[in-house]
Amino acid sequence: MNRKLNQLLDGQTPAGPSFTEKQGQYLAFIWAYMQINRQPPAKRDMQRYFGVTPPSVHQMVLTLERSGLIRRQPGVARSIQLLVDHDILPKLQPVQPVITSVQSY
């Protein structure tokens, strides 16, 4: 607290939480989902939106939690809480469809 106050008095902006571009997109998705549905997303919702596997979503959730960006209650579904101000989140980008050489019929 004192460090942030000193930075403000010195005219410096305190550094906020840092996250990668991909982490930012997951955080932005969680925030947008909560605004629309009034509840946090399930891992399956993130899997569907980002077009990734269940282990990929699980690892991202663990990474976000270890980084102090989200909080969850063990054993409770849809318990993700954002620990960052939504004003610092990036704009949620639409996911590009995966291009494949396999034809569907």
Angle at 39 between CA 33 and CA 44, to 5 degrees: 65
The total of other beta-carbon atoms located within 10 Å of residue 45's CB is 16
* Residue position matching structure tokens 């939480």: 17
Please list the pLDDT of the chain residue by residue as tens digits (105 residues).
Answer: 444 444 445 555 456 689 999 999 999 999 999 999 999 999 999 999 999 999 999 999 999 999 999 999 989 999 999 999 999 999 999 987 666 666 656
Rounded Cα gap, residues 1 and 89, in angstroms: 22
